[in-house]
Structure 1
Amino acid sequence: MTELATRWLGLELRSPLVVGASPLTDDLDALRACVKAGAGAVVMHSLFEEQLVEEQMAAHRFIDSRINMDAEARSFFPESEVFEMGSGSYLQRLELLRRSLDVPIVASLNGISTGGWTAHALELEAAGAHAIELNLYDLATDPSETATSLEQRQQAVVRSVVEQVSIPVSVKLSPFYSALPAFVAGVEAAGARGLVLFNRFYQLEMDLDELELSREVVLSSSAELPLRLHAAAMLYGQTSLEMAVSGGVHSGDDAAKAILSGATAVQVVSAILANGPGALEQIHDGLNRRLSDMGYRDLTEARGALSMAKAPNSRTWERLNYARLLHGWK
């Protein structure tokens, strides 16, 4: 059998399978079952800076509006500081997972300001996170803003966090960069330790009957995996950042493809949400069988074997493959 133990972000993992950021953070029993099934690490759901700010402002508005209604109100309304407004509950959950699970716990941070990212990153480190996953989501809506300025701002955020914490920082990217290798080089120069390819943005849908926007979570399928494989295969050998594939991994073969493309870790969410922790065990066993059947003794031998740097015909990853597909789709 293939040895699946690996190192990711400087952390010792019993397998490359990682429970990705998801609502499973709040289900300790499910996470225990995932670890038993072969998970090598757990990523918590994101701590959203803007959500914390909104909660704080709402509480202040509530108290202030009632204080102004009565001159004696200040004598019986509590101070706003007594409310749990901030990252407290998230930090408590992080500490609980650290005590309860014998695998590395990665905190996830989704911020909107350089100062906010840094302050919360320090809290996560103090609470015991083994690493931090920065979830970069900065949507360009201003036509005067260029891709260069947006990317420079994101790289500055990465740098500000890396400079403040001593634990490894991984950056979760969107698939929409026009020159991904160049941006990744900037992230590496900013001091990051790893990449996650890619974020699955939950898009708004239109309800035509009610004439309004609606939100619906649609789980991934294996059809989303090739986008991640292409990016990992392209970046392997061009960056020292340790890559994790996230999105579209539903089988052992899917996980094997991610490793062969150059990934160090493979994040799984939708398969677990759909079929429970048993799905992770099936992926774990399937990955082991596939790599063993291919003759690989460990993940180091398998990693990047089908990347652009090592593929027998690297041009199949490039534009030439697009033309061939169009002419031979039948």
Structure 2
Amino acid sequence: MDLKTTYLGLTLEHPLVPSAGPLTEKLDDLKRLEDAGAAAVVLHSLFEEQLRIESAELDYHLSHGVESYPEALTYFPEPSEFRLGPEDYLELIAGAKKALRIPVIASLNGSTLGGWTDYARKMQEAGADALELNIYNIPTDPDQSSAEIEDTYVEIVRAVRSAVTIPVAVKLSPFFTNFAHVAKRLVAAGANGLVLFNRFYQPDIDLETLEIRPNVLLSTPMAMRLPLRWIAILYGRLNASLAATSGVHRATDAIKLLMAGADVTMMCSALLRHGPQHLGTVKRDMIAWLEEHEYESVAQLKGSMSQKNCPDPSAFERAQYMRALTTYPVPPARGS
């Protein structure tokens, strides 16, 4: 069975890729994922806020008190000698490239246009095979228009694209007025791929302490329905790779997303629940399904049920929405 796929110009042995998360923070865990059969890995994200904080601390230590103490100018080491948090990330990239045989994709997470995007170049220099740009933004300003928000996304992608020559994928949320239009603009700005979709972690209220707490809930297979729809709609319309993330727990989830047009299917929650070895289970089940249904390769499967190739293209649009609502069975009244 030929499971090979191409993502961001990288040839992968199969389409199962661990996404950015707790299991991709340490080199030992990355080795475990490779041993379990990962086709590539996306490292955990380096955040814009980390880079801003480290830069501010560095400026403070280099300048604080220089006018009061003559020895201050020589007391602190040169900037190149500082051990900043982001430097550890670069070491992780370099270490992973040295230790692993599979592609290593770095992840840069931010929400505003700024100098932090220059760090993408350092990730490339450290050896990253590609970069996943995770733009995570929750607009709260009622005076900021949707056009302004979308323009910021485009400018961030352009800034990163101008800083690197390696492939760049953009991880997005689905909350745009016209997602297809935004996707087209980002590809035109230089994105080589789109990762659909980012999950917004919603806050919760602790009724005992009356504090707002972050609430991270692992995904379920139902979450794959949203990326499935949009990947199916975008397949064949954009000159870019498509990655599905969120809700990939079983071989059947991955197969459906590949049929919709995904080049790779990314996993996180399922691996946190079952461990890295779950990759092998999903891969074996995928091969069994393909053989049972007489497929010879993933390439033969890919995009076969996209909107472009589906016998009923309206299935991904409003007509199917109305059909679903009008045909759902109503339970009988009690006592009848």
The TM-score with structure 1 as length reference comes to 0.92
Deviation at 1:326, TM superposition (A): 1.6
Runs of 4+ in 1 over 3 A off after TM superposition: 58-65, 70-83, 112-115
Amino acid at match of 1:32: K
SS of corresponding position for 1:195: strand
Quote the residue 1:219 is aligned against. Answer: 218
The question of whether the paired residues in 2 share the 8 Å contact of 1:197 and 1:245 is answered with yes
The question of whether the paired residues in 1 share the 8 Å contact of 2:61 and 2:76 is answered with no
Is 2:35 the partner of 1:36?
yes
Q: Deviations over 1:8-29 (max 9, x none)?
A: 1111111111110112223333
Unaligned runs of 5+ in 2: 330-336
Quote the residue 2:314 is aligned against. Answer: 315
Quote the residue 1:107 is aligned against. Answer: 106
Deviation at 1:33, TM superposition (A): 2.6
Structure 2 CA distance for partners of 1:279 and 1:248, relative to 1, 3 Å: same
Q: Deviations over 1:146-193 (max 9, x none)?
A: 111111111111122112211111110101112111111101111211
Quote the residue 1:128 is aligned against. Answer: 127
SS of corresponding position for 2:303: coil
Quote the residue 1:287 is aligned against. Answer: 286
C-alpha separation between the residues in 2 aligned to 1:71 and 1:323? 74
Quote the residue 1:78 is aligned against. Answer: 76
The question of whether the paired residues in 2 share the 8 Å contact of 1:262 and 1:303 is answered with yes
Deviation at 1:202, TM superposition (A): 1.8
- Identity across aligned pairs (percent)? 38
Deviates more, 1:306-315 or 1:88-97: 306-315
Q: Deviations over 1:72-119 (max 9, x none)?
A: 883895348354235211000000000111000000111344342431
- 1:1-330 to structure 2, matched below 5 A, reads 2-58=1-57, 61=60, 67=65, 74=72, 78-79=76-77, 81=79, 82-85=81-84, 87-330=86-329
C-alpha separation between the residues in 1 aligned to 2:321 and 2:299? 30
Amino acid at match of 2:53: E
Deviates more, 1:214-223 or 1:29-38: 29-38
Deviation at 1:36, TM superposition (A): 2.5
C-alpha separation between the residues in 2 aligned to 1:284 and 1:316? 28
SS of corresponding position for 2:11: strand
SS of corresponding position for 1:114: coil
SS of corresponding position for 1:87: helix
Unaligned runs of 5+ in 1: none
SS of corresponding position for 2:212: strand
The question of whether the paired residues in 1 share the 8 Å contact of 2:129 and 2:166 is answered with yes
Amino acid at match of 2:91: Q
The question of whether the paired residues in 2 share the 8 Å contact of 1:3 and 1:297 is answered with yes
The question of whether the paired residues in 2 share the 8 Å contact of 1:15 and 1:38 is answered with no
**Would you say how many aligned residue pairs link Structure 1 and Structure 2?**
328
C-alpha separation between the residues in 2 aligned to 1:303 and 1:231? 15
Structure 2 CA distance for partners of 1:327 and 1:168, relative to 1, 3 Å: same
The question of whether the paired residues in 2 share the 8 Å contact of 1:173 and 1:195 is answered with yes
C-alpha separation between the residues in 2 aligned to 1:56 and 1:114? 16
The question of whether the paired residues in 1 share the 8 Å contact of 2:46 and 2:89 is answered with yes
The question of whether the paired residues in 2 share the 8 Å contact of 1:60 and 1:80 is answered with no
The question of whether the paired residues in 1 share the 8 Å contact of 2:43 and 2:107 is answered with yes
C-alpha separation between the residues in 1 aligned to 2:167 and 2:62? 40
